[in-house]
Amino acid sequence: MRAAPAYQTLSQRLREEIAAGTYREGARLPTESELVAEHGVSRQTVRRAFQDLVAEGVVYRVPGRGTYATESGRRYLRQLGSIEDLMSLSDDTSMEVLAGLQRRVDVDAAARLRLDDDVVFTVTFRRLHSRVPFVVTRVHLPEPVAQSVVDSADLRTGAVSTTTVIALLEPHLGTPITEAAQSITVAPADDEVAGGVGCAAGHPMLRVDRLYSDATGTPVELAVSHFLPEQYTYRVTLRRSGLR
C-alpha cells in the first residue's frame, strides 16, 4: 500500500491536534516556517495541508496574521456525496459493537424495509474518531441479507473494527448497493444512545436515517444514527445544474 502524500499526513496530524484541544477556538497554529522545520516538509506541502483544512472549515486564515483553529475543528466532519463516501468511514473511524447482530421483531423497521413479516436482524454500534465517540447507529437487515454476515466476528458484541456494515454486506449481495435514501431530523437520546456517546438521556441529537437499496431497488439495510452535535459536523455541497 502506498504511503499517503505528505500534505495529507500533515493535515491529518493538525486535524487530530485540533480535535484533541491542543489548539482551541481562536488559537493560532504554528506558522508555515515552523511547520516546515518541525516536520521536515516543504513549504508547498504545508500550504496544501492548510488549504485542505480551510476548505473543511477546521481552520481559518487571516492574511498577515496567521492560521487559526475554529470551533468546528474539534468536531468530526464528513462531507458526503456518494455511497463510496459512506463506505470510507472506515478510513478514519472505528466501529465498536454495543449489541451484536440478532434476530428480533421490529414492526417499524420491517415496514420500512418492505418486508412481508415483522422480523429483522439488528446490530447496534458506535463510531469513534480519535477515540472519541460521536454516533450510535442501529442497523436493521432483512433476514436473507443478514444470513450472509450473521457469523461475522465484526458484528459481535464488543467487537472493534474499522469496517462498515455496507462494506461487509456488499460482497454477498447479488447486485451492488446503488442508492441511500436519507432523512435528517432532531431526536432526543435514549438510554442506549446516551450511554454510547457519553451524554445525558434526552439530549438533542442529530438523527440520520438511511435506507440502502440495491440496483434492483430492493431495500437491503436500514441504518438509524444518532449523532452528538458537539462532536460531529455534517457537510453537503450543493451545485446548480447546467452551469460550469
Q: pLDDT tens across 208-235, in order? A: 999 999 999 999 999 999 998 877 777 6
Q: Kindly state the DSSP code that residue 173 receives in the 8-state scheme.
A: S
Q: What angle do CA 181, 186, 191 make, to 5 degrees?
A: 105
Kindly list the domain boundaries of the chain, sorted by start residue.
6-74, 76-235
Within 10 A of 135 (CB to CB), how many other CB atoms are there?
Answer: 24
**Which range has the worst mean pLDDT, 26-30, 67-71, 105-109?**
67-71
pLDDT score at 237? 66
> Does the pLDDT value for residue 242 go beyond 70?
no
pLDDT at 197: 92
Sheet hosting strand 119-129, strand order edge to edge: 160-161, 94-105, 119-129, 132-141, 219-227, 204-214, 177-188
* pLDDT attached to residue 19: 79
- The answer to whether 14 and 39 have CB atoms below 8 angstroms apart is no
* C-alpha to C-alpha distance for 155 and 168, rounded to whole angstroms: 9
Tracing cell 472493534 back to the chain, one arrives at 160
Res. 11: pLDDT tops 60: yes
Q: 76-235, which class in CATH?
A: alpha beta
Dihedral (CA of 160, 73, 236, 232) sign: positive
Out of 3.40.50.20, 3.90.45.10, 1.10.10.10, 2.30.30.110, which CATH number does the structure's domain 6-74 have? 1.10.10.10
- Contact (CB, 8 A) for 201 and 190: yes
Residue with cell 418486508: 115
Letter string b/e over residues 210-232, b meaning 16 or more CB atoms within 10 A of that residue's CB: bbbbbeeeebbbbbbbbbbeebb
- 158 pLDDT higher than 70: yes
Q: What share of the chain is helix, strand, coil (3-state, %, to 5)?
A: 35, 35, 35
pLDDT at residue 74 tops 60:
no
Query: What is residue 212's predicted lDDT score, i.e. its pLDDT?
Result: 93
Interval 103-137: pLDDT, tens: 999 999 999 999 999 999 999 999 998 788 999 99
User: In 3-state terms, what secondary structure has residue 21?
Assistant: coil
Asked which of 19-23, 43-47, 99-103, 135-139 is least confident by mean pLDDT, the reply is 19-23
